[in-house]
């Protein structure tokens, strides 16, 4: 039986061991002739010759084309015949590590030349194996001459990378040790015998690292191993062996061979300790980097949130202390409003980038008025520029088709983000310009180009590639004093991409920057540059509204705004109370309901569904508007699904709320 196992097939063993290599070549050291012994499909795709007369020229010519550019010079310096012969004569092998390019993917490989075991020492095996396991993959290369080398010699050359190699009869469990290193021999493991799996488990009880013992014992049974081998053809397991007092990471690979020589199991164990330690170091560095990035972001957010909050608290106290000075109170309220707007923008940035990265951001395309966008942008950014003593100019005379199909909120957000960013990074006395241009496109489409140009501090060439990345700011002392999450431009770029547009930037450090956004939008009208626009009539005098809100401050603010515009407001503290109030007052009493979502007893969704289930057409058509801090697209959709007519996000713009109320009440009246 022992003789049968040893002769199992040196070829089968060689084939089993060769599976860990990309390619194997056999070389005549004296005349440099070579022939390919085996190659993986990936390697074959490189289109390299399988045999030749001059190995050194072959390698230096062909490998130069597929070696990573940063490694080519070193490879060509090292891979010369004199160096190789000297290394083979000195220690029997030559080795080097470099990166090969498989398509666009660089892979670290280990090239090893081993002199064959023969009296004349004329032949060598060249193997190129992957050392990318902790980075990318582990495979193996070697070169062998099929015409003049036996499978036994190939197997011997390959087995040098293994602590031990066993040949096992899976039917009888009889085993023979095919090869082993001196280090492995000192462990006192049986070289041959019966009952391979139980013998191995007994050895592992004393040799395996304690923390890996239970996992190994739970996995290494004949039933489990053979089941995996029958399914996958191979089995791999990593664990730590104790060499003296030192735990060493090893990888055991089992391969099931079924050929003309019979059915046999080849089990090899090789040292992966250095790779595992590098992988652990890499994980630790990545964890430290993630922790550092998180801490930096939280520190920035803490600073950026506290800054406007400090202004809000401070100017609130100033206003209280100067109640008899109207100008001081108005000035303080303006500052509070500006700080509140900035605080809200920070929160919106976090929500937007979260939606973008989770793939939940969606566009709400519909009729869009570019003229209204331009007016709002001027109202907002002119005040920002005035506060910094900047000159800001708006030019959109060439835009004639102002009514388009698009997401009005997102187009405005993109332009506001870029202009606000320009104002942030432009010193006092400098200039900021917004130029909007229109060009014809195919069909009913028009191309709109928006250019934001400033004479500010500019952007360094090194930072430009990172400009649209999340949570980044350029590390300059003049910039670090600027508030923000580092998300504005990242969000802007993502939104522009979502709208099918492009964004680009040109900048010179110390001279300024120019951002260009291009969008194609469908026109809804002919040239309307001379169109006279009138504000929507939002006369709501005498209308009755039920305000369902559990937060007393939010309820007080909303009620004051509504009552100032002539509405009569009743309040309910939760959805259940709102339902009962609507039922108590009867059909026709309320013109609309403003409904919060997150409330105790009964939430806004439940209350809306309950109102819609009441008898009568009035309760089916009564306008119910969600007024909630739940502002994601899916939140809006959930409100509509529950039976609400519309949604407005907190904190709301009073004009937007009044306009929405007017629209919904008018629709219901029809």
Q: Which helix (H) or strand (E) holds 94?
A: strand 93-102
Q: Which residues of 570-609 are buried (b: 16+ CB within 10 A; e: fewer)?
A: bbbbbbbbbbebbeeeeeeebbbbbbbbebeebbbbebbb
Query: Could you give the CA distance from residue 233 to residue 82 in angstroms, rounded to a whole number?
Result: 42
Domain assignment present for residue 282? The answer is: no
Give yes or no: residues 155 and 169 share one domain.
no
Domain assignment present for residue 536? The answer is: no
pLDDT at 506 > cutoff 80: yes
Expressed as residue numbers, the domain containing 188 is 164-271
pLDDT at 18 > cutoff 90: no
Q: Examine the fold and report which residue of 271, 306, 326 is the final residue of a domain before the chain moves on.
A: 271
Residue 408: name the closest of 367, 447, 469 by CA: 367
* CATH code, domain carrying 635: 3.40.50.2300
Query: Could you give the CA distance from residue 111 to residue 24 in angstroms, rounded to a whole number?
Result: 11
Split at pLDDT 50, 70, 90, the class of 8 is: low
Give yes or no: residues 31 and 89 share one domain.
yes
What pLDDT does residue 16 have? Answer: 67
Give yes or no: residues 25 and 138 share one domain.
yes
pLDDT at 99 > cutoff 90: no
How many structural domains compose the chain? 5
Domain assignment present for residue 281? The answer is: no
Give yes or no: residues 145 and 187 share one domain.
no
Domain assignment present for residue 470? The answer is: yes
Q: Which residues of 478-507 are buried (b: 16+ CB within 10 A; e: fewer)?
A: eeeeeebbbbbbbbbbbbbeebebebebeb
Give yes or no: residues 14 and 149 share one domain.
yes
Give yes or no: residues 96 and 29 share one domain.
yes
Helices 552-564 and 654-669, interaxial angle, to 10°? 70
pLDDT at 577 > cutoff 90: yes
Domain assignment present for residue 652? The answer is: yes
Give yes or no: residues 387 and 419 share one domain.
yes
Mean pLDDT of the chain: 80
Domain assignment present for residue 187? The answer is: yes
Domain assignment present for residue 285? The answer is: no
Give yes or no: residues 213 and 243 share one domain.
yes
- The residue assigned the tokens 């040196």 is 10
Residue 30: name the closest of 148, 157, 201 by CA: 148
Give yes or no: residues 370 and 306 share one domain.
no
DSSP bridge pairs for 269: 164, 252
pLDDT at 632 > cutoff 80: no
Other CB atoms closer than 10 Å to residue 316's CB: what's the count?
14
Give yes or no: residues 371 and 495 share one domain.
yes
Domain assignment present for residue 529? The answer is: no
Residue 561: name the closest of 663, 639, 659 by CA: 659
Other CB atoms closer than 10 Å to residue 148's CB: what's the count?
13
* Stretch among 87-91, 274-278, 380-384, 636-640 having the lowest mean pLDDT: 380-384
What tens digit of pLDDT does each residue of 134-153 get?
555 443 334 433 433 444 55
Instruction: Check: CB of residue 106 under 8 Å from CB of residue 99.
Output: yes
* CATH code, domain carrying 323: 1.10.287.130
In angstroms, the Cα distances linking 402 to 376, 500, 556, 659 are 14, 19, 38, 21
Q: Examine the fold and report which residue of 523, 557, 579 is the final residue of a domain before the chain moves on.
A: 523
Query: Could you give the CA distance from residue 64 to residue 83 in angstroms, rounded to a whole number?
Result: 18
* CATH code, domain carrying 402: 3.30.565.10
* CATH code, domain carrying 228: 3.30.450.20
pLDDT over 90, % of the chain? 19
Query: Higher pLDDT residue, 19 or 477?
Result: 19
Give yes or no: residues 153 and 50 share one domain.
yes
* Stretch among 198-207, 300-309, 417-426, 529-538 having the lowest mean pLDDT: 529-538
Give yes or no: residues 488 and 387 share one domain.
yes
What pLDDT does residue 382 have? Answer: 78
């Amino acid at each position: 039986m022992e003789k049968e196992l040893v002769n199992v097939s040196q070829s089968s063993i060689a084939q089993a061991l060769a599976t860990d290599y990309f390619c194997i070549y056999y070389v005549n050291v004296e005349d440099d002739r070579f022939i390919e012994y085996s190659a993986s499909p990936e390697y074959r795709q490189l289109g390299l010759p399988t045999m030749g007369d001059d190995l050194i020229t072959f390698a230096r010519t062909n490998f130069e084309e597929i070696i990573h550019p940063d490694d080519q010079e070193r490879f060509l310096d090292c891979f010369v015949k004199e160096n190789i012969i000297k290394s083979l004569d000195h220690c029997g092998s030559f080795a080097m590590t470099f990166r090969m390019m498989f398509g666009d993917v660089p892979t670290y490989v280990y090239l090893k030349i081993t002199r064959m075991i023969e009296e004349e020492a004329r032949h060598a095996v060249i193997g190129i194996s992957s050392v990318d396991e902790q980075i990318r993959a582990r495979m193996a290369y070697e070169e062998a001459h099929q015409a003049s080398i036996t499978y036994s010699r190939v197997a011997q050359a390959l087995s040098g990378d293994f602590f031990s190699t066993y040949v096992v009869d899976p039917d009888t469990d009889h085993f023979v040790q095919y090869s082993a290193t001196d280090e492995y021999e000192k462990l006192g493991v049986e070289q041959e015998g019966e009952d391979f799996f139980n013998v191995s488990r007994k050895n592992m009880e004393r040799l395996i690292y304690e923390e890996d013992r239970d996992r190994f014992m739970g996995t290494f049974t004949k039933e489990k191993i053979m089941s995996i081998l029958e399914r996958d053809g191979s089995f791999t397991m990593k664990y730590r062996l104790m060499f003296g007092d030192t735990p060493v990471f090893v990888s055991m690979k089992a391969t099931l061979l079924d050929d003309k020589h019979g059915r046999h199991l080849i089990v090899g164990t090789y040292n992966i300790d250095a790779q595992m330690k590098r992988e652990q170091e890499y994980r630790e560095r990545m964890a430290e980097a993630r922790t550092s990035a998180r801490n930096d972001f939280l520190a920035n957010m803490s600073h950026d949130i506290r800054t406007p909050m400090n202004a809000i608290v401070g100017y609130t106290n100033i206003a209280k202390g100067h109640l008899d000075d109207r100008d001081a109170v108005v000035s303080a309220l303006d500052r509070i409003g500006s700080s509140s707007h900035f605080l809200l923008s920070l929160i919106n940035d976090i929500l937007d980038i979260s939606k973008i990265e989770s793939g939940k951001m969606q566009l709400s395309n519909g009729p869009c008025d570019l003229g209204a966008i331009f007016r709002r942008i001027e109202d907002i950014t002119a005040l920002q520029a005035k506060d910094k003593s900047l000159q800001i100019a708006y030019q959109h005379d060439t835009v004639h088709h102002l009514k388009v199909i698009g997401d009005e909120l997102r187009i405005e957000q993109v332009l506001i983000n870029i202009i606000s960013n320009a104002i942030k990074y432009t010193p006092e006395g400098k200039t900021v310009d917004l130029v909007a241009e229109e060009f014809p496109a195919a069909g009913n489409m028009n191309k709109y180009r928006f250019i934001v140009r400033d004479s500010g501090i500019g952007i360094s060439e090194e930072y430009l590639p990172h400009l649209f990345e999340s949570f980044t700011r350029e590390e300059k002392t003049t910039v670090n004093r600027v508030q923000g999450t580092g998300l504005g431009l990242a969000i802007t770029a993502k939104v522009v991409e979502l709208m099918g547009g492009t964004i680009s930037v040109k900048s010179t450090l110390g001279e300024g920057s120019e951002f260009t956004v291009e969008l194609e939008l469908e026109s809804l009208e002919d040239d309307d540059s001379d169109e006279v626009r009138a504000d929507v009539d939002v006369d709501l005098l005498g209308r009755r509204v039920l305000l369902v809100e559990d937060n007393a401050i939010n309820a007080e603010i909303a009620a004051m705004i509504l009552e100032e515009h002539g509405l009569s407001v009743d309040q309910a503290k939760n959805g259940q109370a709102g339902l009962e109030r609507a039922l108590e007052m009867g059909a026709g009493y309320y013109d609309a309901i403003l409904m919060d979502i997150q409330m105790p007893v009964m939430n806004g969704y439940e209350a809306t569904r309950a109102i819609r289930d009441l008898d009568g057409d009035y309760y089916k058509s009564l306008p119910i508007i969600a007024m909630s801090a739940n502002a994601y697209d899916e939140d809006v959709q959930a409100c509509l699904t529950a039976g609400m007519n519309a949604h407005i996000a907190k904190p709301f713009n009073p004009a937007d709320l009044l306009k929405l109320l007017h629209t919904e009440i008018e629709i219901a009246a029809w």
